[in-house]
Chain A
Amino acid sequence: MMAPTEGVSVTAISRESDPPRRGFSRRSFVKIGVVTGAGLTLGVTWKVMSNPGLPSSDATLVPNAFLRIDADGTITVMVPRSEMGQGVSTALPQLVAEELDAAWGQVSFEFAPAHDAFGMMVTGGSTSVKESWLPLRQAGATARWMLREAAAQRWGIPAAEVETRDARAFAPDGASVTYADLAAEAALLDVPDEVPLKDPADFRLIGQSVPRLDVEAKSTGQAVFGIDAGPNEARIAMVARPPVFGGKVRSFRPDAALAVPGVREVVLIQSGVAVVADGYIAAKAGRDALVIEWDDGPAAGLNDAEIFAQLRDAAQNNGRTVRDEGDVETALSSSEAKVRATYQLPYLAHATMEPMNCTAWVRDGRCTVWAPTQFQNAPAILGGGARQVAAKAAGVSADNTEVHTTFLGGGFGRRAERDFVHEAAELAGLVEGPVKVIWSREDDMQHDFYRPASYHELTATLNADGSPDAWHHQMASQSILQRLAPSWVPGPAARFAGRRDPTSTEGASDQPYRSPNVQMTYAMVDLPIPVGFWRSVGHTHTGFVVESFIDELAHAAGRDPYEYRRALLSEHPRHLGVLDAVAAAAGWGSTVPDGRARGIAVVESFGSYVAEVAEVSMQSGRPRVHRVWCAIDCGVVVNPRIVRAQMESGIVFGLTAALYGEINIQAGRVVQSNFHDYPMLRMNEAPDIEVVLAPSGDAPGGVGEPGTPPIAPAVTNAIYALTGERIRTLPIVRA
């Protein structure tokens, strides 16, 4: 039971006992609660399949959404996903409004509170639209069906004669009534078992670039991010965390910190020493004044050279087979002419524009949290989301813990972690009143969960026609899932006995190029660097490696890189579709301006297919990316402008990493600290980007991440075409 708004009660039923199935259950069920004079609230619960991107096949996700129609005509869609720029607070309401037959201007949204009625609330894996595609349309369609029925009963005519548009029902004689007026009557009706969805040919909103619901607030300074949220009287805290990964506080002296004007308290918490003050500057000065003796722990001697030596050794000697077709060993030994390449990718920080922060208030056995989080709610067996983690840290029950999700100033996977929420809730449990923990940029960069560094050795032999006879790939990295396993995966020992991690090898273990003999091995390496999900996860490195190596093979075979790929992808029509679309857009094969060259790459990730062409020159020894063409097939397109924006965003994100992105480890700590030594692509370096939408199919794929993987290989392939230099270690521009 929950009450999302005053005066409206909603009963949400979940069928936890239902056996998990793949795909949406046909009639998940809809239970309406409701009803007050205020209007109609639909509580919709549905089951979705377990995330195919995760190795677990038995975790059932049970998201849930609410649609509210108030008597004043407001139509509010509760969004149980986090808005971090990817447009989910527009796209999800768009699905509901389509089937509801509301005009776009009549629709608004609220972020859903963290609650079990919404099931597992996590925003990641580019899944929001994909997983909401049927359930949210069903929610809208069900509400429309009931409103139409209410109108029919009022007019005494068959429901089939009632038409709906712009949140209004129309009778054949021209009479009409608003949904708002019908809401209370509709709420008394039984919920229909199954309601037909619209034929896509009848879509009026899906497929249209309707305006985002968040841009006005974000253009006027009114949007509330985590750093802006919570009670005005909240004290500000900063935390001194161990500089070396795995380090601990041995002892500390708070006196000098407490002597700083505005500093109120110094508190030892699990993550370090917190300084609570009247404002950010006092908290920072207090923290600077702390005297702490650290126990650096065993990682204190770790550096990049040792890390990459371990990765190389593991890749060469300790790999477990994750793909094995044909007989690679025989095929490799039967040919003298081998193509070999070694690729190496660094750790990367997320560097969201809004540094980590969280506000918490613990009083009277209750905990309230304001957080820019990608992960609000999850069952205990999965380690919990922000709500469960905050409850535990504050020593209260999850039922007595509220999480208010704010706008996120970037996410990229960083905010799927729960560390910053735990820290604030723990601290709030130890001090009086509300407290906001703010991380400095340096804190954020040096205490991230990094994209894992990885090492790859590839070997291939070619047939007489130039196609690969054998493809052998040995990879090593840390595993993100292994770190999360105790909390994410039931029976982690069983799962990781095989030392496999599909999120590390995705994109490589299933690379699509035709070859009779293919083998991939993966070596999971244990290192004390915290690693996490980073926009496009495994594809961030496998996309670079596979698309670089296929380019090397094309050149070794003396073939055009685009034509070579085409020939090896003949059984993969969606890869071919975007390759052809991007080649046509770029005019592949036509004359390129003097001093420039082009590279191409194609990667499938998160259910979408993206091909990119980059046009590059070298200026003073550094690459300059002038233009990028991008073609995406993400199935059906819900909002074309948002899809284009996400492609541009993913390209700039991936290009930033390809050119500059590198987190170095020296003496067990991160070398980089801020944007001066972890640079971001800026406007004067941003390429012109042309995006072609090449939709296919009838269900959407993801768009938040798939734009990122192809850009790094497209650029390095272009550099090779221009200079003959093959870049196999990222970043391209090294300090």
Chain B
Amino acid sequence: MGPGEIVCLLGSNGAGKTTLIRVVLGLLRPSGGEVWLFGRRVDGWMPHRIPRSGVGVVPEGRRLFPKMSVYENLLMGAHGRAAPAEVRARVEELSRRFPLLRERAGQPAGTLSGGEQAQVAIARALVGRPRLLILDEPSLGLSPRLCLEVFRLVREIHAAGTAVLLVEQNARQSLMVADRGYVLQKGQVVLAGTAADLRADPLVRRAYSLAEA
């Protein structure tokens, strides 16, 4: 992945997408192979060093800290990285883009609706000013309208200069926002190419029912 790209990683459940992300984040140790990030080899790093090196994550299922307030969740997004004053400024900045963050600052994150949680999770990943944003199934469990909203947001983040790795089952929409894509099946990359190529690939079309859309 190059800087400033949007790459999407497609595949059905169990294809190995989330495993790959876990390896990248250092939560699983690879049995073989290497992971490179920003010009450094990072496999074998302790998990906390990866986010601190400039990676923001929106985990699958969003995984906000349910009993912490929205504000505290945002603070967690820059944990161990920045001075408190700087973090506060950044949160302030994000609150202009997401008015929700200010309105609900004190509310426990677990009580938000799915769409609101998605916004908070994305904002949380951005607090640390990441150079790379990883989104794992951001559309899961959202209504199509909210999905579109999320994808619009992804494009906006990308326009601001952050590289994005989008892990999705929802092939159609991810291929529309992405530059390039990889298709995983049973733990292997079976297809790789530009988004336009993948959109046209018959296998992808069949597997993801793009034809009907």
Do A and B come together as binding partners? Answer: no
Q: Which A residues are closer than 8 A to B by beta carbons?
A: none
